[in-house]
Copies of this chain bind each other. A is one copy, B any other.
């Protein structure tokens, strides 16, 4: 490979000058700079990321932490989609993304250690077990970290405005005349808490009751459980007229349970999801749901990351970004 040495030789200047010229530094004669850059182009010079990083301690690499318990972060529409958006935005600024595992060679290391080993400039964390010691160490480190759907003490995070989303979903059902509304929420997390509160508050604001049998813990992306809980709800004497699910997949599974009970989703029982998974925009019946703006979430995360990388001082209130959500009206909520 061509190195700055070759350019230096070809141009009759020192490597120091070549380096300066290529990095657009002030203290090089413009004529020299142009000559160097021209020669670099002609020789097909490419900077060596390793050498540069070794000296400058900057890799222009962002670590991506995305491992759920089933090791399948990439297969979740929401996270894959947010990552993709983040990736495009970061690449536009010259950063590359590297997945962080807990292996180096044949040995096991913590995520933090892996990040140090690879010398990443920052970390993007989504869809991991944030409560684990391993991830907490990383969050507490000096590395710039931006996380999705998790807010840590003094840290930087992006998430959908879950409260607004649930308030809209619930409010919509109420406007459609529903009074017995069931809420199946995901496993305990900040996101779940925000949603539970929003649901209870909305119901309260409309002076509607929320009996315990209509307020159930499910699991994100766990259709089997959603199916069972739906069956439970349907067999209940105080059966709801509308069910809010923690995500689209669960909603779809719920609809199957409804159908299996001989009922029609969107007629006897109404259904609302959460996510706005584009695949389900093409299946029938069209699911009414809350769309999470994955594109914006990724872009916001990139913005925050870039500001951190520039050592910009980010005011407290900008550290947590709530991205707007949108009600997608489908045909699964009946007008009562």
Q: Which residues of A contact B (CB under 8 A)?
A: 1, 46-51, 53-54, 59-61, 71-75, 77, 80-81, 83-84, 87-88, 91-92, 94, 96-101, 103-106, 109, 113, 116-119, 223, 249, 252-253, 255-256, 259, 277, 279-280, 282-284
Q: Which residues from chain B contact A119 at a C-beta distance below 8 Å?
A: 48-50
Q: Which residues from chain B contact A99 at a C-beta distance below 8 Å?
A: 87, 91, 96-98
Q: Are B118 and A96 in contact (CB under 8 A)?
A: yes
Q: What's the Cα separation between A80 and B113 when bound, in Å?
A: 26
Chain B: CB-nearest residue to A107: B94
Q: What's the Cα separation between A118 and B95 when bound, in Å?
A: 11
A54's partner among B48, B74, B81 (CB-CB below 8 A) is B48
A282's partner among B46, B54, B113, B253 (CB-CB below 8 A) is B253
Considering the complex of A and B, which 9 residue pairs feature the smallest CB-CB distances, nearest first? A91-B101, A74-B84, A50-B54, A94-B105, A98-B98, A50-B53, A74-B80, A283-B283, A97-B99
A117's partner among B48, B98, B116, B284 (CB-CB below 8 A) is B48
Q: What's the Cα separation between A94 and B101 when bound, in Å?
A: 9
Nearest-Cβ distance from residue A297 to partner chain B, whole angstroms: 14
Nearest-Cβ distance from residue A238 to partner chain B, whole angstroms: 26
Q: What's the Cα separation between A46 and B61 when bound, in Å?
A: 18
Q: A96-B98, A103-B91, A103-B94 are in contact. Are A282 and B223 (CB under 8 A)?
A: yes
Chain B: CB-nearest residue to A94: B105
Q: Are B282 and A279 in contact (CB under 8 A)?
A: no
A94's partner among B51, B104, B113 (CB-CB below 8 A) is B104
A113's partner among B46, B87, B256 (CB-CB below 8 A) is B46
Chain B: CB-nearest residue to A96: B98
Other contacts beyond A49-B119, A91-B103, A94-B104: 20, CB < 8 A: A46-B104, A47-B117, A48-B117, A50-B53, A51-B54, A60-B105, A72-B84, A73-B84, A75-B77, A77-B279, A87-B99, A91-B101, A94-B106, A98-B98, A253-B282, A255-B284, A256-B282, A279-B279, A280-B283, A283-B283
Chain B: CB-nearest residue to A72: B84
Q: A50-B54, A223-B282 are in contact. Are A81 and B75 (CB under 8 A)?
A: yes
Q: Which residues from chain B contact A50 at a C-beta distance below 8 Å?
A: 50-51, 53-54, 59, 119
A75's partner among B1, B80, B255, B256 (CB-CB below 8 A) is B80
Q: What's the Cα separation between A83 and B51 when bound, in Å?
A: 29
Q: Which residues from chain B contact A53 at a C-beta distance below 8 Å?
A: 50
Q: Are B97 and A98 in contact (CB under 8 A)?
A: yes
Nearest-Cβ distance from residue A233 to partner chain B, whole angstroms: 18
Q: What's the Cα separation between A87 and B75 when bound, in Å?
A: 12
Q: Which residues from chain B contact A259 at a C-beta distance below 8 Å?
A: 284
Q: Which residues from chain B contact A83 at a C-beta distance below 8 Å?
A: 74
Chain B: CB-nearest residue to A104: B94
Q: Which residues from chain B contact A48 at a C-beta distance below 8 Å?
A: 54, 117, 119
Q: What's the Cα separation between A231 and B54 when bound, in Å?
A: 60
